[in-house]
Amino acid sequence: MASASASAGYRVCPVTGLKVFLPTERLIQAVAVSAVVALLIGGIAALFVVLNRWLGPDVVAPSRFYMWIALHGWNMLVFWIVLFEVALLYFASSVLLSTRLVWPRLAWVSLGLMVVGVALTDVAVVRTPQNYLSFQPYVPLQGTPDFYLGPILFTVGSLSALAVFFATIYTAQKEKVVGRSLPLVVYGAAVAAIIAVATLVVGAMAFIPAFLWSLGLVGSVDAFWWKLTYWGFGHPAQQINLAAMITVWYFLAYITVGGVTPSEKVSRLAFVCYLVAINLGSAHHLQTEASGALSVPWKWINTGYLVHLAVLGSMIHAFAVPAAIEIGQRLRGHGQGWFRWLIKAPWGNPAFSSLVLSIALFGFLGGTSGVIYGTEQPNLLWHNTLAVVGHFKGTVVLGTTLAFMGVTWYVLPLIFRRQVVGRPLAVVQPWLFGVGMALLAVAFMKLGVADGVPRKQGDIFLFGGSAFAFPYPAHVWAWMAVAGIGGLLGVLGGAIFVGLVVGTVLMGKRLSEAELKGGYGLPGAVPAPVGGAVHSLPVPKGTLVLTIIFWLFFLAMYLRAFAQLSSTWPLGH
Amino acid sequence: MVTAPERVWWRVPVSRAEMVWIVLAFLLVMVFFSLWMALWHGIGRQNATGAAYKVAPQTYREEVFAFARQWKVGEENGIPVVAPPPGSHVYLLAQRFSWYPILKLKAGETYHLHMASTDVLHGFSLSPHQWAIQLYPGYEWVMSFTPDKPGTYHIICNDFCGLGHQTMLGKIIVEG
Ligand SMILES: [Cu+2]
Ligand SMILES: [Cu+2]
- pLDDT tens per residue across span A143-160: 999 999 999 999 999 999
Residues of B in contact with A292 (CB under 8 A): 50-53, 141-142
B54: contact with A, CB 8 A cutoff: no
CA-based R_g, chain B, Å? 24
pLDDT at A4: 40
What's residue A45's pLDDT?
Answer: 98
In which band, very low, low, confident or very high, does the pLDDT at A204 lie, cut at 50, 70 and 90?
Answer: confident
Number of domains in chain A: 1
What mean pLDDT comes out for the span B95-120? 98
Angle at A244 between CA A390 and CA A540, to 5 degrees: 90
Residue A529 included in any domain: no
For position A422, which CATH number holds?
1.20.210.10
Give SS3 for A516.
helix
pLDDT at A5: 44
Spatial separation of the C-alpha atoms in residues A435 and A85, rounded to whole Å:
24
Q: What is the mean pLDDT of chain B?
A: 96
Residue A2 has pLDDT above 50, yes or no: no
The phi and psi torsions of A572 (rounded to 5 degrees) equal 65, 30
Is it the case that residue A232 has pLDDT exceeding 90?
A: no
Convert the pLDDT of each residue in B148-170 to its tens digit: 999 999 999 999 999 999 999 99
- Which of B2, B75, B133 to mutate to probe the A interface, most A CBs <10 Å? B2
Nearest CB to A311; choose among B5, B29, B148? B29
Determine contact, residues A390/A557, Cβ cutoff 8 Å: no
Among the partner residues B26, B147, B158, nearest to A312 by beta-carbon distance: B26
CA A237 to chain centre: 10
- What is the nearest CA distance from A565 to chain B, expressed in angstroms? 7
Largest distance between two CA atoms of chain B: 80
**In-domain check, residue A526:** no
Does residue A101 sit within a domain?
Answer: yes
**Partner residue opposite A290 with nearest CB, options B14, B141, B161:** B141
CB-defined contacts A:B, below 8 A? 328
Is residue A459 in a domain? yes
Q: Which positions 203-222 of A are in contact with B (Cβ < 8 Å)?
A: 222
Q: How far is the CA of B157 from the centre of ligand 2 (A)?
A: 4
The DSSP symbol for B150 reads -
Range of the domain at A332: 6-521+537-565
Question: What is the pLDDT at residue A7?
Answer: 67
Give percent above pLDDT 90 in chain A. 83
Name the A residues in 467-486 with CB < 8 Å from any B CB: 467-470, 472
Buried b / exposed e along B67-89 (16+ C-beta atoms within 10 A) = bbeebeeeeeeebbbbbbeeeee
Residue A573 lies in a domain: no
Using CA atoms, how far residue B2 sits from A124, A161, A351, A406, B107, in Å, is 42, 22, 17, 17, 63
CB contact under 8 A, A290 and B143: yes
Half-sphere exposure of B60 (CA within 13 A, CB side): 26
User: Cβ neighbours of residue A399 under 8 Å, at least 6 residues apart?
Assistant: A241, A242, A245, A358, A361, A362, A366, A367
Q: Does B48 contact A at CB distance below 8 Å?
A: yes
In this complex, which of A450, A463, A570 lies closest to B146 when CB atoms are compared? A570
Interface test with A, best of B12, B19, B21 (most A CBs within 10 A): B21
The beta-carbon neighbor of A452 closest among B21, B129, B139 is B129
| CB-CB contact of B72 with B65 (8 Å) | no
Whether A527 maps to a domain, the answer reads no
Q: Which residues pair with B46 in a beta bridge?
A: A571
- pTM, two decimal places: 0.96
> Residue A3: what pLDDT?
41
Predicted confidence at residue A278, as pLDDT, reads 66
β-strands B122-127, B133-135 pairing: antiparallel
CA atoms of A344 and A357, how far apart (whole Å): 16
Q: Which residues of B13-39 are buried (b: 16+ CB within 10 A; e: fewer)?
A: eebebbeebbebbeebbbeebbebbee
- Across the beta sheet with B79-82, the strand order is B72-76, B79-82, B102-106, B169-175, B151-157, B122-127, B133-135
- The number of the ligand nearest the C-alpha atom of A286 reads 1
How confident is the model over A425-468, as pLDDT tens digits? 999 999 999 999 999 999 999 999 999 999 999 999 999 999 99
Asked, for residue A123, whether it belongs to a domain, the answer is: yes
Tell which CATH architecture fits domain B51-175: Sandwich (2.60)
Compute the average pLDDT of residues B113-132: 97
Confidence of residue A529 (pLDDT cuts 50, 70, 90): confident
Which tens digits make up the pLDDT trace of A258-267? 999 999 999 9
Picking from B10, B166, B171, B174 by the largest number of A CB atoms within 10 A of its own CB, the best residue to mutate is B166
Instruction: Name residue B170's beta-bridge partners.
Output: B155
Say yes or no to pLDDT of A240 above 80. Answer: yes
Does A377 contact B37 at a Cβ distance shorter than 8 Å? yes
| Mean of the per-residue pLDDT values of chain A | 94
**Residue B111 near chain A (CB below 8 Å):** no
How far apart are the C-alpha atoms of A453 and B157, rounded to whole Å? 11
